[in-house]
Amino acid sequence: MTTEVGHHHHNVDPKELTSVEAHLADILDRIRPLPPTQLGISEAEGCVLAEDITARQPLPPFDNSAMDGYALLASDVTGASRDRPVTLRVSGEVAAGDTGAYAVTPGSALRITTGAQMPGGADAVVPIEDTDGGVAQVTIRTAVEPGHAVRFSGGDAREGEVLLPRGTRLGPMQIAVLAASGHARAEVYPRPRVVVVSTGDELIEPGHALRPGKIWDSNSFMLAAAAREAGCLAFRHGPVPDDPLELLPAIEDQLLRGDLLVTSGGVSMGGRHDVVKDTLGRLGTIQFRKIAMQPGMPQGFGTIGEDRTPIFTLPGNPVSAYVSFQVFVLAALGALQGQQDRKLPSVHATVTAPLHSPPGRRSYLRGVLDRVDGTVAPLSGQGSHQVATLGKANALIVVPEWVVHMKEGDDAEVLCLP
Amino acid sequence: MTTEVGHHHHNVDPKELTSVEAHLADILDRIRPLPPTQLGISEAEGCVLAEDITARQPLPPFDNSAMDGYALLASDVTGASRDRPVTLRVSGEVAAGDTGAYAVTPGSALRITTGAQMPGGADAVVPIEDTDGGVAQVTIRTAVEPGHAVRFSGGDAREGEVLLPRGTRLGPMQIAVLAASGHARAEVYPRPRVVVVSTGDELIEPGHALRPGKIWDSNSFMLAAAAREAGCLAFRHGPVPDDPLELLPAIEDQLLRGDLLVTSGGVSMGGRHDVVKDTLGRLGTIQFRKIAMQPGMPQGFGTIGEDRTPIFTLPGNPVSAYVSFQVFVLAALGALQGQQDRKLPSVHATVTAPLHSPPGRRSYLRGVLDRVDGTVAPLSGQGSHQVATLGKANALIVVPEWVVHMKEGDDAEVLCLP
């Protein structure tokens, strides 16, 4: 392939730039976890544990059968085989959930189902496949060792053992662990509530007719969806024009609804058209910076309102806003849930076409990762306004600050998009 | 490492087994996509497109500036440099969202902000960083080619171009594409509604005291959470005892709520304790099989009720139920949304410890995948009841049917858990 992917770029003084790591550290430094709350386990999915979860009982809580078969004494079937089967009397049946007290005596067996409590006296289970399945008596065609097909109490977890440490995100498997260990509720950091506001005189709601000079707002929908995908509750506020008299009340209104605010647009040049930078910058709590990255160079972060609600002021270009969300906002959402290192999973892959990146800035280029081949193909159309290309990407190719060119066949770090 | 991971296993006649692929094919053969519906783009997240989405206008819809700077004629700054700057008259300003008609004449420039419509006559933009930022007149320190820093109409997508083909799952980036191309609604396959029912006399609701012989229900919580994680609406029905007179009405009640039903438990031996197999098997629409896999061998699939609602009858062991969900139910949920090949992403990794697998069956062993190192560590405690171990896994190691042993350092296919 001969297509080269990258940008033209201009005179940016490297001394004006803040590194991605420094900006991220400043963000995490200013975010405190949300107050933990008790949630039922059906509601706790996607939340992060604020407590260690321990086994209230041993798991399994009692010795039980791993298979459908016959509970017996292993010594009663010593030497049994297909050619030399052993026949035992069947004294009854114990099923999963049966709370009665059963016992096996030498020379007899008890029918047993998977999960049923082991009867007293029995030390092994012969699976039904190795028997004739008899009811009054059973012919057994295999010898077994003591403990065969028995799940011993505590074999999965001991009583008091930490099953899920504080800080664990609760997915389906962790919800299963909670339930299986008898926890109907758990102390968790709740899902953050995220409010998203697009700004810009040029924005029109989708579904309405465009006029020349206007474009349809996409950032607020995209960022709200990204926040939901990251496990948050998200609220979208329709586009706000470039007017301080409209922006400030809109932001203030949303403070009650959100644990974290995200704006897009109005942060680039710092003139009267950059209403976010101009208006919120005067409040003195938000730092506007040039970050050593592309896309996403001009953006801000700070806190706002009495509760010092975190606020991200992201660039207006859709790709810049999306990349900034994945690099910075995702980490902040983790911190709100008590996780200090939330980030996209990354892999290494071989790039299939040359790439360019500006000196001194880390590029995040859209690509299509093939996990099986271990390759990543940069997409053409890397302009930060090129939202159609964004819809085709499944990965971001990371080009470090000190690299200005990668060639076909080079190894790159790749962030896997959800 | 010397720990070996695997199971004891028993006489299973390979002829009785159905392959994973054959079972999956039978499932997909019987599932029809849900009726498509029009949803607003905020609601459509996670749904699958039932129509091609095309660009209603070129993207961008008009030529506009890629940067904050000055719109001008490139021929007016031929030869300009830091040492030999060129000064032009500034005739005004055009901002993003401005719908007025502007024009640039030779010898003059117009201040312009990112995203603003290119004025008539201008063919390039000089970024503000390459100027003195003047208001009445501007000194320009660089030459530019025509088209410099201009985003041309249609440069991201042409009018009528297919931006998102039918069958695309709508994540945040795709929601952005919909919005940016003016679509306020889209025709989508809706999120499937999944009803989950645990069965078994042994099951107690978490939060209630255990008695000997009883365990806390975890499958219904886990499977509902897994369905939600897969983008569905999920409803959990509390445990149903092993009694046909309770099971049948419970299932029938849920038919109205669900596009797909999942039960767990009661499918192993086929005796009177296997109430799911016994009761639903008599309806004649559900096939109970032994699948050539471990865990998850005994399970069933079919349709039920007037609407022929798909129903999975999964095994009662939590690990078996979870693996079966990811291997079979996930694919069925995809098919309900018009996707024929929905599955977990897979990678290859080096196993860090020996593994055993029964002959003729495909094993799915829980492991911890390290994406950076490209290794996968099998977890100890691979019993299908061992739910505590499940909470530590992030991957399933696939051991093919014809492999009974893998050694440390072998390459394995690994399914990445969400």
Query: What is the rounded CA–CA span in Å between residue A131 and residue B47?
Result: 50
Find the length of chain A.
418
Could B59 and A388 be called an inter-chain contact, meaning their C-beta atoms sit closer than 8 Å? yes
Q: Return phi, psi of residue A102, to 5°.
A: -115, 160
Asked whether residue B364 is domain-assigned, the answer is yes
Q: In chain B, whose CA is at the least distance from the CA of A209?
A: B182
Could B183 and A390 be called an inter-chain contact, meaning their C-beta atoms sit closer than 8 Å? no
> Which residues from chain A sit within 8 angstroms of residue B295, using beta carbons?
none
Instruction: Residue A322: give the domain boundaries.
Output: 14-34+190-336
Could B347 and A371 be called an inter-chain contact, meaning their C-beta atoms sit closer than 8 Å? yes
> Which residues from chain B sit within 8 angstroms of residue A268, using beta carbons?
68, 113-114
Give this complex's ipTM: 0.90
Selecting from B60, B201, B203 the residue whose C-beta is nearest the C-beta of A385 gives B60
Identify whether the C-beta of residue B121 lies closer than 8 Å to the C-beta of residue B108. no
Contact with chain B for residue A33, Cβ under 8 A: no
Asked whether residue A3 is domain-assigned, the answer is no
Instruction: Please list, in sequence order, all residues whose beta carbon lies within 8 angstroms of the beta carbon of residue B332, skipping any fewer than 6 positions away.
Output: B27, B28, B31, B260, B310, B312
Residues 218-257 of B with CB under 8 A from A: 218-219, 221-226, 228-229, 236, 241-242
User: Do B198 and B226 have their domain in common?
Assistant: yes
Tell me how many degrees the CA angle B224-B229-B231 measures, rounded to the nearest 5: 100
User: Do B197 and B314 have their domain in common?
Assistant: yes
Instruction: Write down the pLDDT at residue A134.
Output: 94
Asked whether residue A329 is domain-assigned, the answer is yes
User: Do A48 and A94 have their domain in common?
Assistant: no
Which residue of A387, A392, A396, A415 to mutate against B (max B Cβ within 10 Å)? A387
Instruction: Write down the pLDDT at residue B121.
Output: 96
Residues 105-134 of B with CB under 8 A from A: 113-117, 127-130
Query: What is the rounded CA–CA span in Å between residue A194 and residue B11?
Result: 56
Asked whether residue A2 is domain-assigned, the answer is no
Asked whether residue A80 is domain-assigned, the answer is yes
Identify whether the C-beta of residue B198 lies closer than 8 Å to the C-beta of residue B240. yes
Tell me, what CATH number does A222's domain have? 3.40.980.10
Binned average pLDDT, 10 residues per bin, chain B of 418 residues: 46 84 97 97 95 94 94 96 96 93 95 94 95 95 96 94 95 96 96 96 94 94 97 94 90 89 83 76 84 94 92 95 98 95 93 95 96 91 85 95 96 95
Average of per-residue pLDDT values in chain A: 92
Residue B178 burial by CB count (10 A; 0-12/13-18/19+): exposed, middle or buried? buried
Which residue of B195, B202, B247, B324 to mutate against A (max A Cβ within 10 Å)? B202
Could B390 and A177 be called an inter-chain contact, meaning their C-beta atoms sit closer than 8 Å? yes
Instruction: Write down the pLDDT at residue B88.
Output: 97
Which residue of A94, A114, A294, A413 to mutate against B (max B Cβ within 10 Å)? A114
> Which residues from chain A sit within 8 angstroms of residue B185, using beta carbons?
207
Could B45 and A225 be called an inter-chain contact, meaning their C-beta atoms sit closer than 8 Å? yes
> Which residues from chain A sit within 8 angstroms of residue B225, using beta carbons?
42, 45, 171-172, 175-176
Please name which of B304, B302, B316, B303 lies closest in space to residue B274, comparing C-alpha atoms. Answer: B316
User: Do B232 and B273 have their domain in common?
Assistant: yes
> Helix, strand, or coil here: B231?
coil
> Which residues from chain A sit within 8 angstroms of residue B371, using beta carbons?
345-347
Instruction: Write down the pLDDT at residue B270.
Output: 54
Tell me, what CATH number does B120's domain have? 2.170.190.11
| H/E run at residue A389 | helix A387-390
Residues 309-368 of B with CB under 8 A from A: 316-318, 322, 345-348
Could B55 and A388 be called an inter-chain contact, meaning their C-beta atoms sit closer than 8 Å? yes
User: Do B43 and B172 have their domain in common?
Assistant: yes
Asked whether residue B5 is domain-assigned, the answer is no
Could A11 and B130 be called an inter-chain contact, meaning their C-beta atoms sit closer than 8 Å? yes
Which residue of B43, B114, B141, B319 to mutate against A (max A Cβ within 10 Å)? B114
Asked whether residue B7 is domain-assigned, the answer is no
Contact with chain A for residue B63, Cβ under 8 A: no
Query: What is the rounded CA–CA span in Å between residue A208 and residue B57?
Result: 13
Identify whether the C-beta of residue A269 lies closer than 8 Å to the C-beta of residue B113. yes
Instruction: Please list, in sequence order, all residues whose beta carbon lies within 8 angstroms of the beta carbon of residue B363, skipping any fewer than 6 positions away.
Output: B6, B293, B294, B355, B357, B397, B398, B399
CB pairs under 8 A between A and B: 328
Tell me, what CATH number does B47's domain have? 3.90.105.10
Could A99 and B345 be called an inter-chain contact, meaning their C-beta atoms sit closer than 8 Å? no
Instruction: Write down the pLDDT at residue A181.
Output: 95
Could B213 and A177 be called an inter-chain contact, meaning their C-beta atoms sit closer than 8 Å? no
Per the structure, the count of domains in chain A is 4
* Residue A181 distance to chain B (closest CA, Å): 7
A121: amino acid identity, one letter: G
User: Do A96 and A130 have their domain in common?
Assistant: yes
Identify whether the C-beta of residue B352 lies closer than 8 Å to the C-beta of residue B287. no
* Cis status of the peptide bond prior to A295, with omega within 30 of 0: yes
User: Do B204 and B185 have their domain in common?
Assistant: no
Tell me, what CATH number does B399's domain have? 2.40.340.10
> Which residues from chain A sit within 8 angstroms of residue B180, using beta carbons?
215-216, 218, 318, 387-388
> Which residues from chain B sit within 8 angstroms of residue A60, using beta carbons?
215, 385
B100: amino acid identity, one letter: G
User: Do B201 and B139 have their domain in common?
Assistant: no
User: Do A139 and A50 have their domain in common?
Assistant: no
Instruction: Write down the pLDDT at residue A380.
Output: 85
User: Do B184 and B194 have their domain in common?
Assistant: no
User: Do A317 and A376 have their domain in common?
Assistant: no
Q: In chain A, whose CA is at the least distance from the CA of B326?
A: A172
Binned average pLDDT, 10 residues per bin, chain A of 418 residues: 46 84 97 97 95 94 94 96 96 93 95 94 95 95 96 94 95 96 96 96 94 94 97 94 89 89 83 76 84 94 92 95 98 95 93 95 96 91 85 95 96 95
Query: What is the rounded CA–CA span in Å between residue B299 and residue B219?
Result: 15
Please name which of B365, B381, B55 lies closest in space to residue A386, comparing C-alpha atoms. Answer: B55
Contact with chain A for residue B18, Cβ under 8 A: no
Q: What DSSP state is assigned to residue A148?
A: T
Select from A281, A316, A336 the last residue of a domain: A336
User: Do B245 and B308 have their domain in common?
Assistant: yes
* Residue A306 distance to chain B (closest CA, Å): 30
> Which residues from chain A sit within 8 angstroms of residue B184, using beta carbons?
205-207
Asked whether residue B297 is domain-assigned, the answer is yes
Selecting from A67, A128, A387 the residue whose C-beta is nearest the C-beta of B176 gives A387
Selecting from A129, A157, A178 the residue whose C-beta is nearest the C-beta of B10 gives A129
Selecting from A177, A219, A386 the residue whose C-beta is nearest the C-beta of B156 gives A386
Identify whether the C-beta of residue B388 lies closer than 8 Å to the C-beta of residue B216. no
Contact with chain B for residue A157, Cβ under 8 A: yes
Residue A18 burial by CB count (10 A; 0-12/13-18/19+): exposed, middle or buried? middle
Instruction: Write down the pLDDT at residue B5.
Output: 52
